[in-house]
Homo-oligomer: A and B are copies of this chain.
Amino acid sequence: MPDNQASTSSAADRAYAEIRGLILAGDANPGTPLREEALADIVGVSRTPIRDALRRLEAELYAVRTPGGRLVVADWNVDDVVEMFALRAMLEGHAAARAARRVTAAQLAELKSCNAAIEAAVARPEPDIASFLAGNRRFHDLVLAASASVRLTTMLTGLVEQPIVRRTATRYDRSDLARSAHEHDQLIQAFAAHDEEWACAVMTAHIRRALHAFQAASPSK
């Protein structure tokens, strides 16, 4: 997914990124109150951009509001994460279908070169996880761009948790990473054939496999 920022200016974006980082890094456990002034001190800006950031985090369900209007860090249980994958599978599948219909030759070429980079990262003696993640993210962004639906793009932003993707990918061995690249390849073929259903099916399978990889990587809990 692209940078979650970009909608508003600098201080609010840094606040968003920083607070989100605190939550995802586990520095702020579920239930921890998110007090505006305290966060303002941490980030080094005033309450105003903090409030902006918190509203975004609330919309993306990183935080939930207590009856009295206080924000606390949300608790993402396993069921929640599974649901996120399910929604992502549906929505990205839909995006792939749209992309299959609309993809241009130039976009197709970009997708191919992007996936070539991913394959290169995987093929190294010691697979380059960082490059894989960057390439993977770019690939999915390209698909989203090809789908040409701002609504879909907006909804999927904030649903794709890079930290979760990372947690999944770091447990992959080389063959898993290669399989992922191969699935991208299948998707490119479906795009080239402008076959919407094929593209949707491949993408859905791609994401659902990621779900099970994630579950396998998650120790009980």
Interface residues of chain A, those whose CB is within 8 Å of chain B, are 7-9, 51-52, 55-56, 58-59, 61, 64-65, 69, 80, 83-84, 86-87, 90-91, 94, 149-152, 154-155
Contact = CB atoms under 8 A, between A and B. Distances in A.
B80 A151 contact: yes
Nearest to A154: B61
A175 to B, nearest CB: 32
Nearest to A64: B150
A154 B154 CA distance: 13
Main secondary structure of the interface of A (DSSP, over half): helix
Contacts of A150: 61, 64
Number of copies: 2
Given A52-B55, A87-B152, 19 more contacts: A7-B58, A8-B55, A8-B69, A55-B55, A59-B154, A61-B150, A61-B151, A61-B154, A64-B150, A80-B151, A83-B151, A84-B151, A86-B94, A87-B91, A87-B94, A87-B151, A90-B91, A90-B94, A155-B155
Contacts of A8: 55, 69
A170 B152 CA distance: 29
B83 A152 contact: yes
18 contacts: A7-B65, A8-B69, A51-B52, A52-B55, A55-B55, A55-B56, A59-B59, A59-B154, A61-B150, A61-B151, A61-B154, A64-B150, A80-B151, A84-B151, A87-B91, A87-B155, A90-B91, A155-B155
Contacts of A65: 7
Nearest to A80: B151
Contacts of A87: 91, 94, 151-152, 155
A9 B94 CA distance: 36
A204 to B, nearest CB: 12
A87 B93 CA distance: 11
Contact of A69 (B9, B83, B94, B151): B9
A65 B8 CA distance: 9
A60 to B, nearest CB: 9
Nearest to A74: B150
